[in-house]
Amino acid sequence: MYNEKDEKYLDCINNVAHVGHCHPDVVEAGSKQMELLNTNSRFLHDNLVLYAQRLQATLPEKLSVCYFVNSGSEANDLALRLAWQYTGHKDIITLENAYHGHVSSLIDISPYKFHQMAGAEQNQHVHVALSPDIYRGKYCEDHPDPATAYAENVKDIIEQAHKKGRKIAAFIAESLQSCGGQVIPPVGYFQKVAQHVRNAGGIFIADEVQVGFGRVGTHFWGFQLQGEDFVPDIVTMGKPIGNGHPMSCVITTREVAERFMSSGMEYFNTFGGNPVSCAIGLAVLDVIEKEDLQGNALHVGGYLTQLLDDLKKKHPLVGDGPWPVCWVGPGKKTGIRGHLPLQKLRILKEQRILLSADGPHRNVLKFKPPMCFSREDAELVVEKIDQILTDLEKTLGLQMSEAVISENGHTKRKEPSDENGLVHPSVGSGHKHTGTLPHNKKKLKTL
Ligand code: PMP
C-alpha cells in the first residue's frame, strides 16, 4: 500500500485485498461488466450461475445452494434465519470471544462485542461454549483428548438448555477463531460438536468470512482442516471473495434451502449476486488459481511460521503455544494486555508495517496479509518484531537464557519471574522496506 506521499507500506493485515490491492484482472473484470450491465438481482444473469458453480466446486458436494448477499454480517444473519426455519428451534450456541457480525442478531451471538458493553445482558436464546483453545483454554495440549472435552462442553450446554425447555437451532463457529485470538480447534472437535448438535435437532454453521478462501494453505476452507469426514450444514463467506468489492455468500444443503423456501416467504436481495459482483468474484477465483495463491499461502505461511517459531525460542515475551506469536508477558499465558502490544504495533506502523493484535487480551499478533505476501515480506516483518521484542525485553530485564531449560532433549521454557508491566522502550530505527507487493498501488489517506 502507498500513502498520499507515495510512501510504501507492507500490508500484513488486509485479508480483504485477498489477491493483492487493485489486482488488474479483478479491476478489469469489474469495469468491463460495469460498462455492459449492472442491475437489480431480479434479472437473471449468466455470471450468477457461473459464479455459483465455481464456488460450489470448492466445497463438498452436499453444499450446493448459494445465496448471494453483500457482507459477512448479512451472510451470517441469513444463516441464522435458515437455521431457525430448518429446525423450528431458536437457540444458538456460540463460542467464547466469537465475533460474527455487526447487525443485532449477530451482536447477540458475539461475546467479543456484547462483553464490551457495560450492562449488556446475554440473550436467553444464546449459549456460550468454551473456546477450543488448547493453549490458554480449559483443556490444553497436556489433556489426553481436548477435542472430546471441548465437545462435551457443548453437549452439557445442550442438556442444560433442554432442561429449561429450550431447543438448539445451531452451533456457529469460525473454522479457526480469528478475532477470538487465532484459536485453532483440535482436530475432531467439529465432528463431535456436529454430532451433539445434530442429535439435538440443530445444525452446524461454519463462518469462513475471515479465514476461508485458500488462506490456510493446505485447503481452500478452514473447516477442511478438521478432516474430510466433516461437512458443515451452512458455510458463510465474505471479506476476501470480492477483493474489496462488498459481496458475500451463504452456501447450504438442498434440504436446508428447500425448508427455507417452503415457508412461503420469498428471499430477495437487491444487490446480492448482481452481474458486476459475480464478474469480480469469478476474477478473484481465477487469480487464486492462476497465481497459485493457495500454494503461496502454504509456502510463505510455513516460512513465516518457521521464522516466528525462531522468535519463540529467542524471546521470553513470545508465548510457547501451538501458534507462535503472543505477547504473553512474563510468567503467564494471559500476561500483558491490550495497551502494550498495541503500542508496539504503532511502532511497527511508523516503520511502515501494518499488523494488528487480537484476542480477548489483544495480545495475539494477527497476520492476515494479501495472499501474494512473499518470503521477503515475511522476513521483513519478523525482523522488525524481533527488534521490538529485543528492546522491550532489555527494558524489562528479561533474557531467554534464563527462560529456557533443556529437558530430555526438548526445549522447555521456564517462566521468567519479572512481572514489570507497561514500560515505554526505545525501538531501533527504521529499516528500508524491501518487500514487494504486486498490484498494490493503493492510496491510503487516513493512516
Ligand atoms: N464473521 C467474521 C468472522 C468476521 O470477521 C466478520 C468481520 N470482521 C464478520 C463476520 C462480519 O463481516 P462484515 O463486516 O462484512 O459484515
pLDDT in tens, 23-32: 999 999 999 9
Backbone angles phi, psi at 147, to 5 degrees: -60, -50
Higher pLDDT, 199 or 122: 199
Furthest C-alpha separation in the chain:
68
Residue 396 has pLDDT above 80, yes or no: no
> What is the distance in A from the centroid of ligand 1 to the CA of 97?
14
Q: Which atom of ligand 1 is nearest to the CA of 248?
A: 15
| Strand-pair partners of 353 | 10
Residue ID of nearest Cα to ligand 1 atom 1: 100
**What mean pLDDT, rounded, does the chain reach?**
85
Q: pLDDT exceeding 90 applies to what percent of the chain?
A: 67
Instruction: Read off the C-alpha cell for 260.
Output: 427455507
pLDDT band at 446 (very low <50, low <70, confident <90, very high): very low
pLDDT band at 68 (very low <50, low <70, confident <90, very high): very high
Are 126 and 170 a contacting pair, CB within 8 Å? Answer: no
Are 212 and 205 a contacting pair, CB within 8 Å? Answer: no
Q: What is the DSSP string of 177-240?
A: BSTTTSB-PPTTHHHHHHHHHHHTT-EEEEE-TTT-SSTTSSSSSGGGGG-TT---SEEEE-GG
Q: What is the pLDDT of residue 345?
A: 76
Are 204 and 194 a contacting pair, CB within 8 Å? Answer: yes
Angle at 376 between CA 371 and CA 377, to 5 degrees: 50
**Average pLDDT estimate for 85-114:** 95
Q: Which atom of ligand 1 is nearest to the CA of 76?
A: 10
pLDDT band at 341 (very low <50, low <70, confident <90, very high): low
| E strand or H helix that includes residue 68 | strand 63-69
Strands 443-444 and 2-3: parallel
Q: Which atom of ligand 1 is nearest to the CA of 98?
A: 3
Residue ID of nearest Cα to ligand 1 atom 13: 72
pLDDT band at 144 (very low <50, low <70, confident <90, very high): very high
From 55-69, 203-217, 289-303, 389-403, the region with the lowest mean pLDDT: 389-403
pLDDT band at 122 (very low <50, low <70, confident <90, very high): confident
Spell out the residues 6+ positions from residue 270 whose beta carbon is closer than 8 angstroms to its own.
40, 41
Higher pLDDT, 244 or 424: 244
**Average pLDDT estimate for 77-97:** 98
| Strand-pair partners of 248 | 69
Higher pLDDT, 437 or 214: 214
CB-defined site of ligand 1, < 6 Å: 71-73, 76, 99-102, 174, 178-179, 207, 209-210, 238
> What is the distance in A from the centroid of ligand 1 to the CA of 74?
9
> What is the distance in A from the centroid of ligand 1 to the CA of 162?
30
> What is the distance in A from the centroid of ligand 1 to the CA of 393?
35
| E strand or H helix that includes residue 152 | helix 146-163
> What is the distance in A from the centroid of ligand 1 to the CA of 16?
11
Spell out the residues 6+ positions from residue 27 whose beta carbon is closer than 8 angstroms to its own.
none
pLDDT in tens, 182-219: 899 999 999 999 999 999 999 999 999 999 999 999 99
> What is the distance in A from the centroid of ligand 1 to the CA of 257?
23
> What is the distance in A from the centroid of ligand 1 to the CA of 350?
27
Going by C-alpha positions, the residue among 52, 84, 85, 57 that lies closest to residue 68 is 52
> What is the distance in A from the centroid of ligand 1 to the CA of 102?
8
Going by C-alpha positions, the residue among 193, 186, 173 that lies closest to residue 138 is 186
The CA R_g of the chain, rounded to the nearest whole Å, is 23
Ligand 1, pocket-test mutation among 14, 210, 250, most atoms within 8 A of CB? 210
Residue 251 has pLDDT above 90, yes or no: yes
Q: What is the pLDDT of residue 431?
A: 26
Q: What is the pLDDT of residue 323?
A: 61
Residue 108 has pLDDT above 50, yes or no: yes
For 315-344, b where at least 16 C-beta lie within 10 A, e where not — what string? bbbbbbbebbbbbbbbeebebbbeebbeeb
Alpha-carbon distance of 445 to 219, in angstroms, equals 35
Are 186 and 134 a contacting pair, CB within 8 Å? Answer: yes
CATH fold, domain 293-441, is: Aspartate Aminotransferase, domain 1 (3.90.1150)
> What is the distance in A from the centroid of ligand 1 to the CA of 236?
10
Q: Which atom of ligand 1 is nearest to the CA of 102?
A: 16
ipTM higher than 0.95? yes
Higher pLDDT, 287 or 135: 287
**CATH 3.40.640.10 for domain 24-290:** yes
Q: Which atom of ligand 1 is nearest to the CA of 211?
A: 3
The secondary structure of residue 366, as a DSSP letter, is: E
Spell out the residues 6+ positions from residue 334 whose beta carbon is closer than 8 angstroms to its own.
136, 328, 361, 363
Listed by start position, the domains of the chain span: 24-290, 293-441
**Average pLDDT estimate for 219-242:** 97
pLDDT band at 314 (very low <50, low <70, confident <90, very high): confident
> What is the distance in A from the centroid of ligand 1 to the CA of 105?
13
Q: pLDDT exceeding 70 applies to what percent of the chain?
A: 83
The torsion region of residue 32 among left (phi > 0), alpha (psi -120 to 50) and beta comes to alpha
Higher pLDDT, 331 or 95: 95
Ligand 1, pocket-test mutation among 106, 175, 209, 248, most atoms within 8 A of CB? 209
Dihedral, CA atoms, 329, 110, 298, 193, nearest 10 degrees?
110
Are 224 and 1 a contacting pair, CB within 8 Å? Answer: no
Spell out the residues 6+ positions from residue 379 whose beta carbon is closer than 8 angstroms to its own.
307
Angle at 158 between CA 153 and CA 160, to 5 degrees: 95
Alpha-carbon distance of 272 to 323, in angstroms, equals 36
Q: What is the pLDDT of residue 399?
A: 64
Ligand 1, pocket-test mutation among 13, 69, 174, 239, most atoms within 8 A of CB? 239
Q: Which single residue is written with the C-alpha cell 436464546?
A: 125
Q: What is the pLDDT of residue 318?
A: 80
pTM: 0.88
Other CB atoms within a 10 A radius of the CB of residue 444 amount to 15
